Structure 1
């Protein structure tokens, strides 16, 4: 199946090898309309026709706004991705090369799984979640809507009775090792991951 890719930046270009024959890029920038990127035409949303669209923009909030405009949303899954038994994947999801969703996991709408990342058994991942390259989400983890998980982060497995939970809108920094729940809207970094502490305003101004 050939798709149209909303966004011709780096991530959009990474999708071209498995976007089907004669894909399109979609842009809202008048300066880009009618040009080509890596040999792929850039068109307006209204010129896509009936082909399905995926959104190749990392910011989940921007994806959410753009998704509200789409009439025909597709999925884009690399042929090297592995999808195990009992897995449900929502509309608009993108699974890049060498990604894995192992078993009995539920993936929400407009999910991004970058290269070499995985979601393990019995996880629940919300809508508009972005997972960077080489991220490991281990079993019995709940990732709520609008979460961003940076490159190389690892989330400890939970249990059926007490899943690990990453709250809505949280950010997990690159390389973080998450061993406990992350509250909504919190940024965590380090090993073990802890909330980011911002210096006082007086120090930031120095």
Structure 2
């Protein structure tokens, strides 16, 4: 029976992660890598078998493991708990082009995915199931919680604390904090694409623009016109 490695998530990000994880296991053939998709609409994707979770569990294999390639952090947490309950090992993915300036000073939690050209500098602590997409970087003295997501080209400068379940959009820039007073992004906050964050962001807030400010939705009221004959 062969080793079976599953990429949980068959959307765009999952398809990008598949080549990265295959490169980590060059001694395995293509059939050892599958997609897991609970709402699957096809049996094959980019030459790999697509299984739902029950099919993955029942697949005849001596050794199974999974990485979770789903951007929604709440879903990642639910799936991680499900995999643990079923005693499925959770594995990290790291592109060969990732740069760690001082690996001895970097703490990285389980289940992370680091895509091409991600750069981790020095004295960094990162929680579990962190996703960093292409060309993102994290500078010195940063603390990042669990289930945090960086889209491509996120610039996370020094002395920043990011709490659990934060999503940071493509090209966002976070200003450096200062020793003893880090810039803080609260739990569940969303930083919009291209935003420039210069001050703390409250938990659950959505901020956009440069400098970053709370997103305010405008609602246009439609008036009913009444004709009188």
TM-score of the pair, normalised by structure 2: 0.83
Q: 2:71: which partner in 1?
A: 58
Deviations 1:60-83 (A, max 9, x none): 111111111113111000010112
Give the unaligned 5+ runs of structure 2.
Answer: 23-27, 224-229
Between the two proteins, the alignment pairs up a number of residues equal to 202
Q: 1:167: which partner in 2?
A: 186
Alignment partners' CA distance in 1, 2:4 and 2:100: 20
Q: Cα RMSD between the aligned structures?
A: 1.8
2:83 is the counterpart of 1:81: no
Do 1:3 and 1:74's aligned partners in 2 also have CA atoms closer than 8 Å?
Answer: no
2:18 is the counterpart of 1:16: yes
Instruction: Say if 1:157 and 1:37 are closer, same or farther in 2 by CA, change over 3 A.
Output: same
Q: 1:137: which partner in 2?
A: 156
Give the unaligned 5+ runs of structure 1.
Answer: none
Tell me whether 85-94 or 14-23 shows the greater mean CA deviation: 14-23
Bigger fraction of residues in helix? 2
- Equivalent position SS for 1:91: coil
Alignment partners' CA distance in 1, 2:98 and 2:64: 22
Q: 1:4: which partner in 2?
A: 6
The structure whose Rg is larger is 2
Instruction: Say if 1:171 and 1:30 are closer, same or farther in 2 by CA, change over 3 A.
Output: closer
TM-score of the pair, normalised by structure 1: 0.92
Deviation for aligned residue 1:205: 5.5
